Structure 1
Amino acid sequence: MTASHDSRNLFLEGPAGRLEAILWTPSAPTWHRPSLAAVVCHPHPLFGGTMHNKVVYQAAKSLDALGLPVLRFNFRGAGLSAGVHDRGIGEQDDVQAALDFLAKQFPGVPLLLAGFSFGAWVGLRVGCEHPRVSHLIGLGIPVDSSDFSFLRNCKRPKLFVHGSADQYGAVEKVKRLVPSWSGENHLTVVEGADHFFAGELDQLHAAITNWLREVFRLRH
């Protein structure tokens, strides 16, 4: 996996105050108008989730390696972000702020919304409605504790990557749900992987890379 990017630490203007973020953009020597720009949302902040989570970081690296600009940010109350945790309600406004920021940075470029665990539950809900979001990625979706029924009416193409031993989303339930949701949906099950894809991050990378190469023919 190779990448050549510029990294920028910044603060977004969020509805509950500033949101700590990191934006990766392709370096000038390799710059071209991207096919897509991505936002990646992190897992539950009350259980230690931040934008530095290893699954979030791996997803960002995989997207970056394909030449996509990638924005990660901390939800309200996480890291240096202002505000307090709002049980996934106010966090939807944080996602909206992140998407709006990226949309302004890359006018006319479609956006991809990716999220891990809690970040998938919150992020995909917003991504389904945002006018600039064209594709969605859900990693380790916690279907045992969270309601993903909003995806029944979400027609945007979606990739789901799930561990066969995920503790927070029974894989058989995920296999039943994904085909019932609207749009073109692809599910990759990583055999033996737990919720955090421990020891299987290379398989996570492969799933994201292969899907995007198929959908966008990205060959960076």
Structure 2
Amino acid sequence: MPEVIFPGPEGRLEGRFAPAPRPRAPVAMILHPHPSSGGTMNNRIVQELYKTFQRRGFAVLRFNFRGVGKSQGVFDNGVGELSDAASALDWVQSFHPEAQTTWVGGFGFGAWIGMQLLMRRPEIRGFISIAPPANLFDFTFLAPCPASGIIIQGEQDEVVTAGPVQKLVDKLRTQRHITIHHDTIPKANHFFEQEMPQLMGSVDKYLDMRLAPDSPIR
């Protein structure tokens, strides 16, 4: 997973990139949790999502938002970070313009940014949102949500509370033409410290279904 430096809206952005092993491979981008809480592209959940898509033959990028690690700029309360994500996706797609499918995955703050990005980028056909902070940030921009995906929550998450996440899921499920899966991992806290196998098992089960040739969800 070579280190990469690529241009962002406020200077260079630092990332790790796994090129696709074959032509026309799908693309995935993974977004990290809140920088003010120590979130970086080396977060454990971000790394596991990255490895999961890499094993499945995707071209995968994870990167540091502005002001994190070697990425230039300063934290911008989500506005600039959304621009960073758009630039990062442009960079990946410059190597894989023939990719037919694009996915975005995110944890916490990264899930919020990722779901905003899919509203702007119609090529994103699937998402994985882990502990989307529906109690901390506004998700009303998902009107309507343009892609199917999965939202995963820890049963004992002390940061992102269950009620607002359930309301978000219920709202998205009223929309036509998309399918929203929702998994709750028993006993898991916000960081899934003891339940990482169960978390990634949920991700893998969902990807097995979505990426199957006869998947009912496109």
Is 2:57 the partner of 1:67? yes
- Structure 1 residues 216 and 34 mapped into 2: Cα distance closer, same or farther (>3 Å)? farther
> What's the secondary structure of 1:153's corresponding residue?
coil
SS in 2 for 1:97: helix
State the secondary structure of the residue aligned to 1:87: coil
Does 2:132 align with 1:137?
A: no
Counterpart pick for 2:32 among 12, 36, 42: 42
Mapped contact 1:103–1:111 kept (Cα < 8 A): no
Correspondence for 1:55 among 45, 61, 73? 45
Q: Tell me which amino acid in the other structure corresponds to 2:2.
A: R
Instruction: Identify which of 186, 189, 195 aligns with 1:194.
Output: 189
TM-score, structure 1 as length reference: 0.89
Please say if residues 77 and 85 of structure 1, whose CA atoms lie closer than 8 Å, have aligned partners that are also in contact.
Answer: yes
Q: CA offsets, 1:36-71, max 9 Å, x none?
A: 211000011111110000111111122222222210
The answer to whether 1:96 aligns with 2:91 is no
Task: Tell me the equivalent position of 2:7.
Answer: 13
Q: Which moved more, 1:69-78 or 1:127-136?
A: 127-136
Residue 133 of structure 2 contacts residue 165 of structure 2 at CA under 8 Å; is this kept in 1? no
Q: Do the aligned residues in 2 keep the contact of 1:50 with 1:78 (CA within 8 Å)?
A: yes
Q: How far has the Cα of 1:34 moved from its partner?
A: 5.4
Secondary structure of the structure 1 residue equivalent to 2:89: helix
Deviation beyond 4 Å, 4+ runs, structure 1: none
Instruction: Indicate if the aligned counterparts of 1:63 and 1:209 stay in contact, CA closer than 8 A.
Output: no
Shift of residue 132, structure 1, vs aligned partner: 2.1
- Letter of the 2:179 counterpart: E
- Indicate which of 169, 175, 184 corresponds to 1:178: 169
Quick one: which of 21, 24, 33 aligns to 2:18?
Answer: 24
Q: Return 5+ residue gaps in structure 1 as ranges.
A: 1-6
Mapped to 2, the partners of 1:25 and 1:204 lie a distance apart of 25
1:143/1:168 contact within 8 Å kept: no
CA drift at 1:33: 3.5
How far has the Cα of 1:168 moved from its partner?
2.1
- Secondary structure of 2:2 counterpart: strand
Aligned length: 208
For the residues of structure 1 that align with 2:26 and 2:163, how far apart are their CA atoms?
A: 32
Inter-CA distance 94–120: structure 2 relative to 1 (3 Å threshold): same
Residue identity opposite 2:17 in structure 1: L
In the TM superposition, 1:143-158 aligns within 5 A as 143-158=134-149
**After superposition, what is the alpha-carbon deviation per residue over 1:156-209, rounded to whole angstroms, capped at 9, x for unaligned?**
011111101112222233223213114211111111111111111111211111
Aligned CA-pair RMSD = 1.5
Distance 1:25-1:204 versus aligned 2 partners, 3 A rule:
farther
Answer whether contact 2:45 2:107 (CA < 8 A) is retained: yes
* 1:160 is the counterpart of 2:160: no
- Percentage of matched positions with identical amino acids: 33
Deviations 1:3-31 (A, max 9, x none): xxxx22111110000000100135xxxx3
